[in-house]
Structure 1
């Protein structure tokens, strides 16, 4: 009878090492959070909460993913909780989120893309490595920080985390029409802010 050592080895290699989490993952998790939350103090708090939550449920770690992936998943849930709390502070009634006259003229009603007459001017960062530009990143983060919390949450989930519209609406308890109004208004606001501060 031959023993299968490969499965035991893979489980052995997937064991958690909480003593190394801060050294190995704190910077990564902090950067991941800061891009999505845009608040340094809150980002630090969420990373600490992630480590504590992971310690509390470490026996549930099944080894089907790496430590880093598992910790990131815990952190992502905490970020979504922040998005929910931000969105709960805003009235979501149709009266508040109703599209104002002219808002939708910026975008094509069918595909959501900019109409030609309202297409943003080039920002001068169209090179392939443009988003590496630190000054642009700083201005973009400043513009995003000015957005209402709900708008920033929706925009971040859609365009940074690449979440589905259905998932965002479900997590933030938005109707589909409210979601699209928020996305359009966010694009208009970011466009305006970038054109004022970057060009």
Structure 2
């Protein structure tokens, strides 16, 4: 009995995938993983997985969207592996907040007051430098924080999906997002404004 292959899958040509989609998939993954060797491996694994599943490609999305979805799942697997203990330990809530907040003022400590980042001028050179510094700051986050922040703010995943995929509670997710933002802001102020 011959296996049914969708007409869309029959028209898809895996021989063109590397030429048409490799650069896009690499750029997508490198902003989320920041490890060139691992990203190259993930792109290759994406092509292999797509080849194995080609008979199930129904054409409800473009070929690139389909390949990106496969890559996205592989990236989530990386996040899941990176965020396993010992990295899953969450810093005591008050330890870190005391570094940034003054309980007597019920506000930021003066040295941590938010400052304008100077990105309002739309200078492309500034944007490039800011992106470089932001990337460096993001890499300083603990693995779980980086995974959650990336999934929430770059991939726009739902809270439910993030909690399910990374096995964190809703409360922990929001605490981690808050802490990641505070740390990123502090890092940007230190490295971008100084």
Q: TM-score range by the shorter chain?
A: 0.7 to 0.9
Aligned partners of 2:70, 2:46: CA distance in 1, in Å?
Answer: 6
1:183 maps to 2:188: no
Match of 2:3 in 1: none
Query: For each residue in 1:117-160, what CA deviation from the matched residue of structure 2 results, as whole angstroms up to 9, or x when unmatched?
Result: 76520111123566972111111111111111111000001111
Give the Cα separation in 1 of the matches to 2:125 and 2:161.
27
CA distance in 2, matches of 1:104, 1:187: 15
TM-score (norm 1): 0.80
Partner residue, 1:8: none
* C-alpha distance in structure 2 between counterparts of 1:196 and 1:19, whole Å: 47
Kindly indicate whether the alpha-carbon contact (under 8 Å) linking 1:131 and 1:137 is maintained by their aligned counterparts in 2.
Answer: no
TM-score (norm 2): 0.82
Aligned position for 2:42 = 46
What is the rounded CA distance, in whole Å, between the counterparts of 2:20 and 2:84 in structure 1? 34
Q: 1:194 to 1:102 in 2, by over 3 A?
A: closer
Aligned to 1:68: 64
Q: Mind listing any 5+ residue stretches in structure 1 that lack a counterpart?
A: 1-10, 108-113
> Structure 2 CA distance, aligned partners of 1:13 and 1:49?
19
User: Can you give the 5+ residue segments of structure 2 that lack an aligned partner in the other structure?
Assistant: 1-6, 102-106
Q: CA RMSD in A?
A: 2.7
Report runs of 4+ in structure 1 exceeding 4 Å deviation. Answer: 11-14, 104-107, 128-132
**Corresponding pairs, count:** 181
* Structure 1 range deviating more: 83-92 or 164-173: 83-92
Does residue 169 of structure 1 match 2:163? yes
> Could you tell me whether the CA contact under 8 Å between 2:25 and 2:68 is conserved in 1?
yes
